[in-house]
Structure 1
Amino acid sequence: MPAIDPKSIALEFNNLINEQDLKGLASLMTEDHSFIDTAGDIAKGKNVMLEGWVEFFDNYPDYRNVFSRVIAKDDLVIMVGHSESSEGILDGPALWTAKIRDGLVAQWRVYEDTEENRELLGID
């Protein structure tokens, strides 16, 4: 069975976020999965993040991510786009990264879409 490329894994993970599919998200997370938000706050552990997603989906049922550009750099996938939500603070441009390990998402991170963050990620 051929390995699934990191880009496809990251895109599927995002589809599962958009579908609010907890079982699917769990199937693509490493046990030590971490999530880092735009403030740099870290939630670590698969179970911690599943609880976090439950709360997030309850609070923001119309949230979704839309990507306009996806760049794979080995096991790091960089996504450029925007999030959509009726909650204003969550609606707008953003950057994401996914670190893929052994076919699973080890880290999902959200960044504000700034020139500084684009430079940090090596994108224009």
Structure 2
Amino acid sequence: MRRVIIEQFVAAINQQNLPTIIQMMTEDFRFIDTYGNCEDKEAMKSGWQGYFDWFPDYLIEIEEYLANDQFAMILGRASGSYLGMPDKRWEIPAAWKVVVEGQKIKIWQVFCDSKKQLDAMNK
């Protein structure tokens, strides 16, 4: 069941379905970026939209799924292009640590080298 919830959350991200993303986050949701910065659900309501504005074709591809009793790890790739411009496209390997509570996502932690994303924004 946990894997299905995670796959539904990834699908909502890939579709940029903000109402579903928000609905799938617990009230005490935490987003942790690759630098260790932490944002709560309220901040991420606008945070997701801002990210989708920057990368309108953002896509997560799951290649591996691992889990224990406390959390799951998904391994794969993230891709997108800054403002949708083909010459500012990037693709990177990435991993996500995910904690599911009930039917919702409690923690979404991203691990990736964001240099390509940042470089695309500054080209």
2: CA distance, partners of 1:97 / 1:6: 13
> What is the TM-score when the length of structure 1 is the normalising length?
0.80
- Residue 3 (structure 2) pairs with residue 15 (structure 1): no
Matched residue, 1:104:
104
2: CA distance, partners of 1:47 / 1:10: 20
Structure 2 runs not aligned, ≥5 long: 83-87, 114-123
Could you tell me which amino acid in structure 2 is paired with residue 8 of structure 1? V
Q: What CA RMSD, in Å, does the superposition of the two structures yield over aligned residues?
A: 1.7
Structure 1 runs not aligned, ≥5 long: 114-124
Contact 1:6 1:72 in 2 (8 A): no
Contact 1:7 1:71 in 2 (8 A): no
Aligned 1:57-96 pairs, distance under 5 A: 57-87=52-82, 91-96=91-96
Q: Are residues 89 and 43 of structure 1, via their aligned partners in 2, closer, same or farther at CA, if it must alter by over 3 Å?
A: farther
**Structure 1 runs, 4 residues or longer, greater than 3 Å off:** 87-90
- 1:102 is displaced (CA, Å) by 1.6
> What is the TM-score when the length of structure 2 is the normalising length?
0.81
Percent identity reads: 31
**Secondary structure, aligned partner of 1:91:** strand
